[in-house]
Amino acid sequence: MTIRDTIKNLAAEHDETIAELERKLDFGNGTIARWDRRSPSSSKLAKVADHYHVSVDYILGREASPQAEQDLDKLLDQAHSFDGKPMDDHDRNLIKSIIRGYYSGKKA
């Protein structure tokens, strides 16, 4: 997924168009569309991330969505133990890292 696709999805989730987003953030018309051909500035990318309360890494595709993180936390909250052995914070973090690593290598 491209940066533009991710932003388009975020905009749709918030009932906004890309044009509305560009106006709200004081970007020129078509600024985000051009990000398919060239990289955005870090300041503009940060503005978009702040607007949607996500990280820049999420927009760049290097981090799971906030919802995915919440879902993973809920799943691990339900798993108090494995094979009769209690799961501590170290175990939870290790399992989360393994799951993130597995899915970061998968293509959509």
List pLDDT tens digits, range 12-55: 989 999 999 999 999 999 999 999 899 999 999 999 999 998 88
Q: Which residue has the higher pLDDT, 107 or 76?
A: 76
CA angle, residues 17, 61, 22, in degrees to nearest 5: 25
pTM for the structure as a whole: 0.64
Q: Specify the fold of 3-59.
A: 434 Repressor (Amino-terminal Domain) (1.10.260)
Which sequence spans correspond to the domains of the chain? 3-59, 66-104
| pLDDT, position 92 | 82
* Spatial separation of the C-alpha atoms in residues 88 and 84, rounded to whole Å: 13
List pLDDT tens digits, range 70-104: 777 788 877 777 777 888 888 888 888 888 777 76
- Inter-residue contact 51 to 87 (CB < 8 Å): no
| pLDDT, position 18 | 95
| pLDDT, position 64 | 67
User: Of 34, 42, 1, which is closest to residue 18 (Cα–Cα)?
Assistant: 34
